[in-house]
């Protein structure tokens, strides 16, 4: 692992908030173990191993029933660790893969059979080399028959430039971590309002109200992120997802306690109906229902 890499919390607290039965952690990763699933040669960071057994132990500890596991950049387009975790979890996990443009229909079908339901397009420059938009558009066409959606990861300053491309995708899109707002500017600032307006105008765009640990200016207190997430949950209750982001790659400020992250949920989704939508109905609809065309 990189010398400045912070490993995940080894003893997270039990959350005070009890998640409803059947809740889904819709953004988390597995890393390695490197002996079995080596990291990608072109990776931008080398994490601490975070194997499937640890992820599923955390799921049980926090009270979740299911996971959506997202392929992270340190494994590149080699989805072997993800597929292994999906096989181990059976119906209790779904996956978001990162695929090579040359992937065949047969390989995509095999991933679908294993539980993959989306691909991720990563635009965060510290994590990946730039991929031409045409390549992403080709992948979007390839996955269309499977009814998969597209998860996009970008930083707030890139939203304006990316918007025309997002419009071209013409499928369901999930934006990671609320588009990474700068929380030193408030909710009413035009930057965050640009994101709200995008969701307002396009019903095919969802978002994950995740990662207060990355967005906060006052770690480990996450209150400054709450108004952003709560705005999205209240405005778009049927298009939001929540996830731990375990094992929190590339954290520099602090090691998040996953129990404390779960305790943010009732602040951003204050009613049982909003919690039911955020944690169960939305992820179950997106990842466990059949969308094959």
Structure tokens at 256: 């998040």
**Shorter beta-carbon distance to ligand 0GY: residue 73 or 79:** 73
Choice among 245, 258, 273, 281 that is catalytic: 245
Of residues 170, 172, 124, the one with CA closest to residue 148 = 172
Q: What whole-number distance in Å separates Cα of residue 242 and Cα of residue 73?
A: 20
Name which position in 12, 249, 259, 283 contacts ligand 0GY (CB under 6 A): 249
265 binds ligand 0GY (CB under 6 A): no
- Are 267 and 231 in contact by the 8 Å Cβ rule? The answer is no
Rule CB under 6 A: say whether 127 interacts with ligand 0GY: yes
State which residue, 73 or 231, has the beta carbon closest to ligand 0GY: 73
Question: Residue 190: enclosing H or E segment and its boundaries?
Answer: helix 190-201
- Are the C-beta atoms of 214 and 224 separated by less than 8 Å? no
Is 25 an interacting residue with respect to ligand 0GY (CB under 6 A)?
A: no
Choice between 73 and 282, CB closer to ligand 0GY: 73
Q: Closest separation between CB of residue 82 and ligand 0GY, Å?
A: 11
- Answer for which of 6, 72, 205, 277 binds ligand 0GY (CB under 6 A) is 72
Residue 176 a catalytic site member: no
Cβ-contact 55, 61 below 8 angstroms: no
Close Cβ partners of 234 (under 8 Å, ≥ 6 residues apart):
274
Residues lying near ligand 0GY in the complex (CB under 6 A) are found at 29, 72-74, 122, 127, 153, 176, 245, 249-250
Residues annotated as catalytic are 245
């Amino acid at each position: 692992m990189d010398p400045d890499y912070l490993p995940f919390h080894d003893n997270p607290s039990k959350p005070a908030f009890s998640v409803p039965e059947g809740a889904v952690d819709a953004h988390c990763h597995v890393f390695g173990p490197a002996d079995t699933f080596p990291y990608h040669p072109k990776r931008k960071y080398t994490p601490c191993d975070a194997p499937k057994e640890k992820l599923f132990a955390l799921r049980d500890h926090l009270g979740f029933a299911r996971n959506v596991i997202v392929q992270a950049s340190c494994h590149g387009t080699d989805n072997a660790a993800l597929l292994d975790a999906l096989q181990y979890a059976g119906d209790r996990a779904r996956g978001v893969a990162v695929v090579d443009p040359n992937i065949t229909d047969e390989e995509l079908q095999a991933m679908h059979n294993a539980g993959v339901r989306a691909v991720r397009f990563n635009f965060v420059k510290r994590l990946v080399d730039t991929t031409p938009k045409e390549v992403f558009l080709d992948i979007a066409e390839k996955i269309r028959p499977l009814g998969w959606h597209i998860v996009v990861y970008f930083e707030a300053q890139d939203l304006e430039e990316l918007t025309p491309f997002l419009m071209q995708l013409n499928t369901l899109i999930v934006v990671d971590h609320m588009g990474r707002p700068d929380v030193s500017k408030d909710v009413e600032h035009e930057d965050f309002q640009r994101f709200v307006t995008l969701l307002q105008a396009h019903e095919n765009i969802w978002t994950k109200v995740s990662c207060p640990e990355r967005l906060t200016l006052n770690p480990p207190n996450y209150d400054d992120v709450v108004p952003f997430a709560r705005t999205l949950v209240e405005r778009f209750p049927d298009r939001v997802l929540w996830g731990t982001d375990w094992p929190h790659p590339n954290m520099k400020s602090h090691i998040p306690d996953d129990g404390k992250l779960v305790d943010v949920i009732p602040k951003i989704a204050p009613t049982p109906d909003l919690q039911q939508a955020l944690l169960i109905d939305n992820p179950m609809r997106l990842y466990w229902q059949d969308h094959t065309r």
